[in-house]
Amino acid sequence: MSAPVHVALEMDQSWRYAAPAAMARFCAGLKERRIEALRCGGCGRRYLPPRPVCGNCHLPLADWVPVADEGRLEAWTVVHVPILDPRTGRMREAPYGMGLVRLDGADTTLNHFLAQSDPARLAIGQRVRAVWREQLAGAIDDIRHFEVLA
């Protein structure tokens, strides 16, 4: 029996993803601080993120509706585990607040960061508002995080 041998290596991974048309339009809107959802003509559900088809009705989605950058906190947590950012490979520092936010005008919730990371100051039902970055790149993290409104 030999001592166990290991092969240790670091693999570089890179990706290049084409956006679905609906997502491309959504991201273009973010560059102008505009949030839009797609409404299903069958069930009426307003989807964020936008997508080609309603998963419940199987109908194509084409009806764009405006969504506010404010909403209701539907779920929250404070994460204490650092995580490798899958886009950059850098560690994201902990702790940080995470929430599910139902933006006014949307029926699905959006998972995003919260400015607040003190559990004592977070509660389901709080009103929250997007804090936008100065430089907008047309990505969902053009919103830096959501802050709790007084």
Residues that bind other proteins (CB under 8 A): 1-19, 23-24, 27-28, 47-49, 51, 55-56, 74-81, 83-89, 96, 98-100, 108-113, 119, 124, 138-141
* Nearer of residues 19 and 149 to other proteins, judged by Cβ: 19
Residue whose pair of structure tokens reads 């989807």 in the numeric block: 47
CB of 141 to other proteins, least distance (A): 4
Distance CA 147, CA 73 (A): 10
79's CB contacts (< 8 A; 6+ apart) are 94, 95, 96, 97, 98
* Nearer of residues 56 and 66 to other proteins, judged by Cβ: 56
Element (H, E) at 27: helix 21-30
CB of 148 to other proteins, least distance (A): 15
The backbone torsions φ and ψ at residue 149, rounded to the nearest 5 degrees and listed phi first, read -85, 145
* Nearer of residues 4 and 135 to other proteins, judged by Cβ: 4
CB of 150 to other proteins, least distance (A): 21
- Measured between alpha carbons, how far apart are the two ends of the chain, in Å? 66
CB of 111 to other proteins, least distance (A): 5
